[in-house]
Amino acid sequence: MILVWIALGGAAGSVLRYLVHTRIDQLHGYTFPVGVLTVNVIGSFLMGFLAWTLTNHITLTEEHRTAILVGLLGGFTTFSTFSHDTLQHFIHGQYAAVMLNIVLSVVLCIIAAGAGLLLAKSLLT
């Protein structure tokens, strides 16, 4: 049954990712993948916040917690899309965009996950 919950969460997360990143890219029209970067930072923040919150303050079944953390957030974040976008910049010789995307994605997502964790702890402790 846990696989069904993960699949449902993953489907919802994937649809949400598509809606968020395409809307952001439409609004800005950048050639740099701002929508994917935004989704990954938001997803990292939510992972930090919800991982702590769902373990320490909200009682959920293992299936529901896994559906949210693995399914929903796993479907929402986009490492494969990040990799594809970065590779496309590399193929087109846009080496500055490659480095910027790698550094910003890794650094901002780690900071966002830590910020989510710290916020959850400060609000719920």
What's the pLDDT at 18? 96
Q: Please count the other Cβ atoms lying within 10 Å of the Cβ belonging to residue 43.
A: 26
Q: Tell me the average confidence (pLDDT) per consecutive run of 10 residues in the chain, 125 residues long.
A: 96 97 90 91 95 91 94 92 91 96 96 97 93
Which one-letter amino acid corresponds to residue 83? Answer: S
Q: For the chain, what are the domain ranges?
A: 2-124
Q: Cα–chain-centroid distance for residue 94? A: 24
pTM here?
Answer: 0.85
CA–CA separation, 81 and 75 (whole Å): 11
